[in-house]
């Protein structure tokens, strides 16, 4: 069964750092591009970042560019989001999602999410 | 950046109703549009991709149409399991979500 599982969320102080992980199983992880998205409490979905299968190309939303870094370790079937200089507005549920591929860039598999709270 | 305008923001309907949600984009995205369903506390679930393609396992009462800048999601006969929030998403240029439409019980 195809599965994504995020971890690493928690309480972090403004200006602090946190590293989220996403463990993939049930598919050939290195063959797929991946995205991170988030959802602030009571708000809609926001795309955050993209990484290609080899980990050589990344794109970021303006809201996190320069503060967040996405990376992957295909040997460990894992995706990461390094969050630095966090702000109160980064409080959200963070999801990793698989990009379908084969000419399609929709997000066909999602993890259950991990919650990040930024507060002093 | 491509802007998304989804309407309505809230929709009250009864079981058996035909429901239509609209999504407009600030520039043409061809057919690079997806629809997701999200229930409280759960991850989004892909329903429709490439504007009109039904994701495997999704009931046939869901359908999508449109191209260019205007798209619709239709639920032909609303079922109790369909009360949820629906989001459109463009993936022509990076990714952008619409603001969401909450379908609630009338």
CB contact under 8 A, B95 and A35: yes
- For B100, the closest of A44, A47, A61 (CB atoms) is A44
Which of A35, A36, A41, A44 is the mutation pick for testing B, counting most B CBs within 10 A? Answer: A44
B103 CB contacts (<8 Å, ≥6 apart)?
B11, B13, B19, B21, B75, B78, B82, B83, B84, B85, B86
CB contact under 8 A, B49 and A108: yes
State whether residue B34 sits within 8 Å of chain A by CB: yes
CB contact under 8 A, A47 and B96: yes
CB contact under 8 A, B43 and A112: yes
Query: Degrees (nearest 5) of the Cα angle A58, A62, A66?
Result: 65
Give the model's confidence band at A37: pLDDT under 50 very low, under 70 low, under 90 confident, else very high: very high
Burial class (CB in 10 A: 0-12, 13-18, 19+), B31: middle
Residue A48 has pLDDT above 90, yes or no: yes
Residue B99 has pLDDT above 90, yes or no: yes
pLDDT of residue B39: 98
pLDDT of residue A102: 84
* Three-class SS state of B32: coil
CB contact under 8 A, B95 and A50: yes
Give the model's confidence band at A14: pLDDT under 50 very low, under 70 low, under 90 confident, else very high: very high
CA nearest to B10, candidates B106, B101, B105: B101
pLDDT of residue B98: 98
Q: What is the mean pLDDT of chain A?
A: 97
CA-to-CA distance for A19 and B18, rounded, in angstroms?
Answer: 44
CA-to-CA distance for A103 and B38, rounded, in angstroms?
Answer: 25
Each residue's pLDDT tens digit, A53-112: 999 999 999 999 999 999 999 999 999 999 999 999 999 999 999 999 888 999 999 999
The alpha carbon of residue A103 is apart from the nearest alpha carbon of chain B, in Å, by 10
State whether residue B87 sits within 8 Å of chain A by CB: yes
Specify the DSSP element, H or E, that contains A32. none
B29 CB contacts (<8 Å, ≥6 apart)?
B2, B68, B69, B90, B91, B92, B93
* Three-class SS state of B17: coil
pLDDT of residue A103: 87
A40 CB contacts (<8 Å, ≥6 apart)?
A46, A89, A91, A92
Mean pLDDT of A26-49: 98
pLDDT of residue A29: 98
Each residue's pLDDT tens digit, B27-86: 999 999 999 999 999 999 999 999 999 999 999 999 999 999 999 999 999 999 999 999
């Amino acid at each position: 069964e195809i599965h994504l599982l995020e971890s690493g969320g928690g309480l972090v102080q403004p200006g602090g750092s946190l590293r989220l992980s996403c463990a993939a199983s049930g598919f050939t992880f290195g063959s797929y591009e991946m995205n991170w998205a988030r959802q602030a409490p009571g708000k809609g979905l926001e795309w955050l970042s993209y990484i290609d299968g080899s980990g050589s190309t990344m794109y970021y939303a303006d809201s996190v560019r320069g503060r967040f870094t996405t990376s992957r370790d295909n040997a460990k079937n894992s995706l990461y989001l390094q969050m630095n200089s966090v702000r109160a507005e980064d409080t959200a549920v963070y999801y990793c999602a698989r990009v379908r591929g084969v000419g399609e860039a929709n997000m066909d598999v999602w993890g259950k999410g991990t919650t990040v709270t930024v507060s002093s | 950046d491509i802007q998304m305008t989804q309407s309505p923001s809230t929709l009250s309907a009864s079981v058996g109703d035909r429901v239509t949600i609209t999504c407009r984009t600030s520039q043409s995205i061809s057919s690079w549009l997806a629809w997701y369903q999200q229930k409280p506390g759960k991850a989004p679930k892909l329903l429709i991709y490439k504007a009109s393609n039904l994701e495997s396992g999704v009931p046939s009462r869901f359908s999508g149409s449109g191209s260019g800048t205007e798209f619709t999601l239709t639920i032909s006969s609303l079922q109790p399991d369909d009360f949820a929030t629906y989001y459109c998403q463009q993936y022509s240029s990076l990714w952008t979500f619409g603001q969401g439409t909450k379908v609630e019980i009338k």
